[in-house]
Structure 1
Amino acid sequence: MLDLAALTRIGFLTLPNHSMIACANALEALRMANYVAEAELYSWRIITLDGTPAPASNGLTLSPTVALGEAGPFDLLLVCGGIDIRHAAPPHLADALRRLARRGTALGALCTGSFVLAEAGLLDFHRCAVHWENLSSIREEFPEVEFVEEAFVIDRDRLTCTGGIAPLEMMLALIEAKGGRALADKVSEQFIVDPAGRRPREKTAARPRPALPDPTLARAVRMMEAAIERPPGIATIAKRLDVTTRHLERLFQRHLKITPAAYHLGLRLERARELLRLSPLPVTDVGLACGFQSAAHFSTAYARRFGRPPSRERRGSASRGAATERTNAT
């Protein structure tokens, strides 16, 4: 079993277009732990593939940096991802990460860095967190990985989290393991995070959800979200909730100003757009994964909602990726 308290030498592998807020939240938690404890509990290095500072998605860079092959020993390597992750990680990175795993180095990921570990086969049969926007596409691509909607997950020697402030929460778990809850609370207070108001860290939700005042409506929405590939009829949902179809329709109209069927269709189309933009699945497979048995129906519904057919969405996504590559090369 991984000893979290032993993870004191930490490397931050910053890939091009990484999320600055995710990386900074994790790094600053370690710095603050040293400051509050008045001792060097943690050390860290900013690592890049070639030693040259990698620009974050906001255009800024962290330095000084060291090349991955020259970084020296560390207890935990965190892969810092962000936008356009498929173009940020070269094929040889997977081999380097597998070598580190064989040596017993704990591996983790911030934001979309989980994709890099999954592609290297280093998350197979592990629970894993990733930014909620990427959940749909990555689940389709890596069925051996148990992706969960939690802010962060520590499963054996794999530590993964979503973006934003989730890395801070994950680092607080490490700090608590080493210095106790009192030290973690002092770090939280320094960042104006109320320790008493934090939810249990392992239960923090990863995906933002709309506030739904009616519990029946909330359950209906959760059922719809869980049934994208094989959408049940509205009558079936109402029966499972032990309400009438008319009552369910009134709840949707009162609180969301939309019919249940239209809301569910919207969820399926939004999921389809995520898959078209973030996964390599063929357009036909995307339609099937989102509950459309007919390619023509999928294309018509998609174009009606987004103003262009799914095939053009896929071409547009490829163009955006190529443009990002050209920008990074200049």
Structure 2
Amino acid sequence: MRKHIDHTQHTRKVLPDNVRPLQIEGKRRFSHLMRDTNRAFLPGNKESTNVVRVAFILPEHFSMMAFTAAVDALVTANLVQTSPLFKFETYGVSTEKVSSDLGIEISTEGSLDRLNGKGSGEFDVIIVCGGFRCSMAENKALTELLKVTAKNSAVVGGIWNGAISLAYAGLLDNMQCALHPDNHAFMRERFTNVKVTDNTLELEPSVITSAGPASALEMMLQLIDQLQGRDVVRAVREILSCDQVVEQGSIKLTAATERPIIPDNLRDIIQLMKANIEDPLNVDELTGCIGISRRQIERLFQAYLDTSPSRYYLELRITQARRLLLQSNDSVTNIALACGFVTSSHFSNCFKDFFGISPSHVRDKYRQDFS
């Protein structure tokens, strides 16, 4: 059923299914915004030859929230590609089992002794994840490990007061550093060459630091951007930023189409499209609802999304169909109708043009991968 429109004011339209989207080698390609949303399911994602190896050092009472935020970014980056981009391992400082600040015990791959035995050169990134109750005393083994890691040109990082371990190793001398405000006084008094800032995140060429859980996530997103590219990090943000609080007190879920850069008129049009997936509106009907001209709508889509209204509408419906295929047991025919396609055969052909495989095959593949 259509929403937000008076049927008596408009004639029946031709569905926009026959619009030809951007194409490469005869196949349809999503415009950039919808490509980020569908990246994990698109054909042609090349297998990565640059798998980044990350080690997390977990001292006693480390921040579980900060640690999981950092790891979540890496795991999600792997999910948006057809092959892994990151591999990570965890290590305790002196024991294999480490208790977090929540009292939850984590079993790691081993202590620093085992990591030293493997060789720090095995990792491209080593991050020390601190916490509110973590000791600020120096651990000689960790200091030596970080020094060797830096000599091997790996990236070193500190979360919360994990940066203090980097300072003991001399890796923050004359560099800007972010850490939890509770530790600012200690860092400034003990390490006079370290430039403690009030920022929640600092990125130096080979040293990264963050002040807490929220900035730990952003730190890892910035790292992913540097190591694996902007397309990957955009796709990760698409997944992880849905509950970002954009205004004080706001709890509304946000999506890429609701980012501040998009004008209100364009946002309203997209929301109207989303509300009318099963029975799509044509451009003239959209203009009647929004109160701007057809030419204005076309200019908005071209300027901000680099596509046409009809083309974006089709991509939106195909994306909705992909979600229903993977998240429900409904038949392909019913999903086709629910997403505004007249016949299941036309839907299947259109879906295959975008994703490279048929609707039934993508459902089978998804269930095999996640079973």
TM-score by length of 1: 0.54
Aligned to 2:139: 90
**Pairing partner for 1:25 from 32, 44, 69:** 69
Aligned to 1:159: 208
Aligned to 1:53: 97
| Offset of residue 198 of structure 1 | 9.1
Structure 1 residues 180-259: aligned runs within 5 Å = 180-191=229-240, 192=242, 193=244
Structure 1 residues 271-310: aligned runs within 5 Å = none
Alpha carbons 1:109, 1:160 under 8 Å: kept: yes
Structure 1 residues 92-107: aligned runs within 5 Å = 92-107=141-156
1:77, 1:128 → 2: CA distance? 16
| Offset of residue 154 of structure 1 | 1.4
Indicate yes or no: 2:70 matched with 1:70. no
Indicate yes or no: 2:15 matched with 1:15. no
Alpha carbons 1:51, 1:65 under 8 Å: kept: no
Paired residue secondary structure (1:112): coil
Alpha carbons 2:97, 2:106 under 8 Å: kept: yes
1:77, 1:109 → 2: CA distance? 9
- Judged with a 3 Å threshold, the aligned counterparts in structure 2 of structure 1 residues 131 and 7 are, in CA distance, closer, same or farther, namely farther
2:153, 2:228 → 1: CA distance? 23
2:183, 2:51 → 1: CA distance? 28
1:7, 1:23 → 2: CA distance? 20
Aligned to 2:82: 38
**Pairing partner for 2:175 from 117, 122, 126:** 126
Q: What letter is aligned with 2:93? A: L
Q: Which residues of structure 1 form unaligned runs of 5+?
A: 200-330
| Offset of residue 124 of structure 1 | 0.7
| Offset of residue 90 of structure 1 | 2.7
| Offset of residue 51 of structure 1 | 4.7
- Judged with a 3 Å threshold, the aligned counterparts in structure 2 of structure 1 residues 146 and 88 are, in CA distance, closer, same or farther, namely closer
Aligned to 2:191: 142
User: What is the CA RMSD across the aligned residues, in angstroms?
Assistant: 2.5
| Offset of residue 12 of structure 1 | 0.2
Indicate yes or no: 2:165 matched with 1:116. yes
| Offset of residue 146 of structure 1 | 0.8
Per-residue CA distance 1:4-61 (angstroms, 9 max, x = gap): x978110000000111111110111000000012320000001112451211111113
Alpha carbons 2:92, 2:98 under 8 Å: kept: yes
Q: What letter is aligned with 1:136? A: A
Alpha carbons 1:46, 1:62 under 8 Å: kept: no
1:81, 1:149 → 2: CA distance? 18
| Offset of residue 162 of structure 1 | 1.0
4+ residue stretches of structure 1 with deviation over 6 A? none
| Offset of residue 149 of structure 1 | 1.6
| Offset of residue 107 of structure 1 | 1.2
Paired residue secondary structure (1:156): coil
Q: What letter is aligned with 1:11? A: A
2:125, 2:231 → 1: CA distance? 23
2:136, 2:205 → 1: CA distance? 28
1:198, 1:88 → 2: CA distance? 44
- Judged with a 3 Å threshold, the aligned counterparts in structure 2 of structure 1 residues 169 and 87 are, in CA distance, closer, same or farther, namely closer
| Offset of residue 105 of structure 1 | 2.7
Alpha carbons 2:159, 2:211 under 8 Å: kept: yes
Alpha carbons 1:6, 1:75 under 8 Å: kept: no
- Judged with a 3 Å threshold, the aligned counterparts in structure 2 of structure 1 residues 101 and 178 are, in CA distance, closer, same or farther, namely closer
Aligned to 1:79: 128
Larger of the two Rg values belongs to structure: 2
Q: Which residues of structure 2 form unaligned runs of 5+?
A: 1-48, 245-253, 262-371
Alpha carbons 1:33, 1:41 under 8 Å: kept: yes
Higher helix share: 1
